[in-house]
Amino acid sequence: MSRSDALILEPDDGPARSALIWLHGLGATADDFAGLNLQLQCPGLRVIALQAPLQPVTIFGGQVVPSWFDILPKPGGRVTSNLDELEESARRIHAEFKQQREAGIDRLAIGGFSQGGALALFAALTHPEPLAAAVCLSGYLPQDEYLTQRAEHLTLQTPVFMAHGSQDDVVLHEYGEVSRDWLRGHGASVDWYSEAFAHTVTAEEFAALGEFLRTHLS
C-alpha cells in the first residue's frame, strides 16, 4: 500500500498493533526501505515510510533533492540545519502520529537513517508526550544549541536506539557519540550500537534494532 507521500507496510501476522514512522536519508526515497517491516521482525508493526519533499540543499550547491530540511555550512567545516524546515517536518510527523491514534494505534515510534535519523530525534524530543521508541541510525541530533536552550520543554522520556558505524565518512561516528552523550546528559535513555561499518545499515544492526522495538512496542 502506498500514498503519494508515503509507503505503508502492513504487518503480515494480523491487524496492526503498533506503528513506526520511518524517514529516509538525504537524497533518497521511501522505497529504499521497502522491506523494513520484514527485516525488523516485529509482530503487529505497521511501517509508514514517509517521503521527503524535493527542495534545494545548500551544501549540495543548491541542488534539488528529497530533503527533510536544508543543511547549511558553518565556519570550521561544520554544518547546521534550517530550523524552520526542521520544525515543519516535525509537525508533519506529529500529525501522522495523531492520525494513527485516531485509527486506534497508540504504540507509536519514530525512526530514520542519516538526515532522517536526525529528524526522528528532533521530532521525538519536540512531541508533546513520550513515544514508545525513537530510532536514529547513522545520524545526529540537529540544532543541539536550540534544544539545549529549551531543554526544560523537551520530551526526554522516550526510549532511544542509536547506531553508528565507526567507519562512517559521511556523518562522522563522533557526531553520533556527541548526540548520544547529549541525550544521556539530559536524562534520556539511549541504547547504543556501534560496529566497524560505513554509512549504511547492516543485517546485524537491523537485528539489534528489531530486538529493541520488540521490547518497546509489544
Distance CA 169, CA 164 (A): 11
Cell matching residue 4? 503519494
- Cα distances (Å, whole numbers) of residue 80 to 75, 76, 132, 139, 140: 10, 12, 28, 13, 11
- Cα distances (Å, whole numbers) of residue 31 to 165, 171, 183, 189: 23, 22, 30, 30
Selecting among 67, 89, 114, 138, the annotated active-site residue is: 114
- Cα distances (Å, whole numbers) of residue 190 to 33, 68, 186: 23, 24, 11
Contact between residue 31 and residue 198 where contact means Cβ atoms under 8 Å apart: no
Cα atoms found within 13 Å of the Cα of residue 153, Cβ hemisphere only: 7
168 is catalytic: yes
Distance CA 113, CA 123 (A): 14
114 is catalytic: yes
Selecting among 81, 89, 168, 216, the annotated active-site residue is: 168
Which residue matches cell numbers 503480515?
A: 12
106 is catalytic: no
> Catalytic residues, which ones?
114, 168, 199
